[in-house]
Structure 1
Amino acid sequence: MALFFFLIFGFCIGPGLLESSPKVRLVRGPHRCEGRVEVERNGEWGTVCDDGWNMEDVEVVCRELGCGEAKGTPSGNLYKPLADEKQKIFIQDVNCNGTEDKLIDCDQVEDVYQCSHSEDSGAICEIPETVRLVGGPGSCKGRLEVKHQDQWGTVCKAGWNLSAAKVVCRQLGCGKATLTKKCCNKDTQGQGLIWLSNVSCSGREGNLQYCLSGLEGNNNCTHDEDTWVECEDPFKLRLVNGDTRCSGRLEVLHKGIWGSVCDDGWATEEEQVVCRQLGCGKPAFVPAKARRKFVPGDGRIWLDDVHCQGQEQSLEQCQHRSWGYHDCNHKEDVVVFCLESSPKVRLVGGPHRCEGRVEVERNGEWGTVCDDGWNMKDVEVVCRELDCGAAKGTPSGNLYKPLADEKQKIFIQEVNCRGTEDKLIKCDQLEDVYDCSHSEDAGAICESEYGRAQGLYANCP
């Protein structure tokens, strides 16, 4: 029988073999290696006063937590919610030389009287990369690989389930786990080592290393059984403080918090992707003076050094530094202006923005389209208006859940496009529909970067 034990990448230990749990933790940050510093004493957790707090102290915290390189000494007040007034401040004047294994080994003053929680210390450490998804459309969909003994290897699908996928998605900072697909296409299989099999997670773990599993040497798997994981795209965008939703300071949503993007390396290619992802047409040329009128952000700066080719369907597919790592201030926040207002058509309920039930906008209200007369020429126009590539199909809108609400209106029917129009509103059509129901809602499938990538593993069981 295969041996099962807890895997901590780089070496294997069981909970009973740990000398002790760390006496320090980072809370309220985007991941376990960043946040407000707290230390434990007699089973109670308290904060650390930032008097004397510096990078040498953070180096020790990062080492004790098994995180990577020390990256910063932010104020602990960046991490919300703030510490409760009743929570104690345990230490101040921490003085590490940077070589200690634990924060408790550093010189420090206990029993703090002249500090308040406005002076709580924070720490930013690099996230050690031990899990990744490769071969998919972006960093949140792909073949699962884990790092052990400084080598990357795959994970066998034996025993794999959605609970384990939830842990991977959480660890990577992606969205919720969707149904796991088992990679079987030759183009998406791994090579080399198969590190894990029979992974068993409850779904509540913060890291795959805390799940029960079997190590390399204890499985009979082949790369036909490599595990494929899909998480929701975490890159939600918005433009704020502009005249329309298609202009303003760019913000991205990560870990439930909106933050800005630094303009280092930012150019037309990146703006093309943002405008496309938001369904806002093409970038508009706006002088630097007009861009400077926007009020800088005051919260997190999530992304820096973003580099796109210009053809990507989502900013998630562009290269960028790790979440939260930057050398910027808010005077460098990206501002984007898109040439057109938002399209008068959208596709909803599908797996991506280029597939779904067709809806059109009229006077600020969205309604559906009756499928009487609906054909591929009509879909060609929808795909062109949404900048979604070639038309691929005319499915029933009822394929996309949840279905349209009974109170939602059906705005048009008998759409008759030549296929050359740039907007659906320019096609012949009948308004004020009386003889259609939502069982006849029209749908559309357009090509997209996501859709092309899906073709690599569309035949997986």
Structure 2
Amino acid sequence: MSKSVRLLNGSSLCSGRLEVKSDQTWSSVCEADFDQQDAEVVCRELGCGPPSVLQGALYGEGEAPMWTKEFQCGGHESALLDCRSSDSDRNTCSSGRAAGLTCSDPVRLVGGASRCAGRLEMKLGEWTPVDGYRWTLETAAVICEHLNCGSAVSVGKRKEASRRSVWSIESDCIQSGSLLRECATPDHGDSILNLACSVPNCRWRC
């Protein structure tokens, strides 16, 4: 958990209005001073997947003062405050322009006919499959929605020849709206989850 950046008013730790902490004070960041490479650093620092949405005022305006310098990240830094910043201070930021950011959760479906079908894997350190026991269409629907893949169509499990490292995910935890990583515990199993989503449209990332 980062102690120097946070995302507020979003649906999870991985989305919200960006605030940065320096000298014990939290500050909002102006959209004009924050770009895609900066967003990649923030998402990585928070342990989230890559940025999917970067837009000002998406998560409202905060009470916090505005950060006065422009971030100049290369995209490879491990923390936002490790990035270079501009020498000059910015005095004003247009109303409604506090930087809002949505990072993706590090999950993917692999080995299927499209990006919306296949073996579910989650990355917490490295990509690891998810245990296939106790999954329902209701639980899978959360994953499909998260991946922008419509609704869940089918849930199945594949038996492995031997036990291997897997993530065990608590379905009640996911359906309560918690972040996926908060619902996952490392385990060993021989059943790997496969699921398929409906993919209602292909306007984004098909």
- Which digits, 9 at most, give the CA deviation of each residue in 1:362-391, with x for residues without a partner? xxxxxxxxxxxxxxxxxxxxxxxxxxxxxx
What aligned pairs does 1:366-385 form with structure 2 within 5 A after superposition? Answer: none
CA 1:122 to 1:198, structure 2 compared with 1: closer, same or farther past 3 Å?
Answer: closer
Q: How many Å apart are 1:104 and its aligned residue?
A: 4.3
Corresponding residue of 1:25 = 7
> Does 1 or 2 have the higher relative contact order (CA < 8 Å, sep 6+)?
2
- In structure 1, stretches of 5+ residues that fail to align are 1-17, 237-251, 253-301, 303-321, 324-461
TM-score (norm 2): 0.62
Counterpart Cα distance in 1 of 2:148 and 2:185: 22
Query: Quick one: structure 1 residues 152 and 64, their matched pair in 2 at CA, closer, same or farther if it must change by over 3 Å?
Result: closer
Pairwise CA distance, 1:27 = 6.9
Q: Which residue of 1 aligns with 2:44?
A: 63
Compared CA separation, residues 71 and 198, structure 1 to 2 (3 A) = closer
Question: Is the Cα contact below 8 Å between 1:167 and 1:207 reproduced in 2?
Answer: no
| Corresponding residue SS for 2:132 | coil
For residue 60 of structure 1, give the secondary structure of its aligned residue in structure 2: helix
Structure 2 contact 48–106 (Cα < 8 Å) conserved: no
The answer as to 2:73 corresponding to 1:103 is no
**3-state DSSP of counterpart to 1:91:** coil
Q: Please identify the structure whose Cα radius of gyration is greater.
A: 1
* Percentage of identical aligned residues: 25
- The 5-angstrom pairing of residues 240-259 of structure 1 reads 252=203
Amino acid across the alignment from 2:44? R
Distance 2:8 2:163 in 1: 34
The structure with the greater share of residues assigned to strand is 2
TM-score with structure 1 setting the length:
0.33
Query: Which of 175, 195, 201 in structure 2 is aligned with 1:229?
Result: 195
Q: Which amino acid aligns with 1:38?
A: L
Counterpart position of 2:180: 208
Q: Is 1:195 aligned to residue 165 of structure 2? A: yes
1:38 corresponds to 2:15? no
Match 2:93 to one of 96, 103, 115: 115
Q: Is the 8 A contact 2:19 2:29 kept in 1?
A: yes
Q: CA deviation at 1:39?
A: 0.6
1:151–1:118 Cα change, 3 Å: closer
One-letter identity of the residue aligned with 1:181:
V
After superposition, the Cα gap between the structure-2 partners of 1:26 and 1:62, relative to the gap in structure 1 and judged at 3 Å, is: farther
Aligned length: 200
CA distance 1:28–1:160, shift in 2 (3 Å): closer
Match of 1:265 in 2: none
In structure 2, the gaps of 5 or more residues are none
Distance between the aligned counterparts of 1:89 and 1:63, measured in 2? 24
The amino acid across from 2:146 in the alignment is Q
- CA RMSD for the aligned pairs? 4.7
Taking a change above 3 Å as real, the CA distance of residues 138 and 47 of structure 1, as seen in their structure-2 partners, is same
Quick check: 2:107–2:120 contact (8 Å CA) kept in 1? no
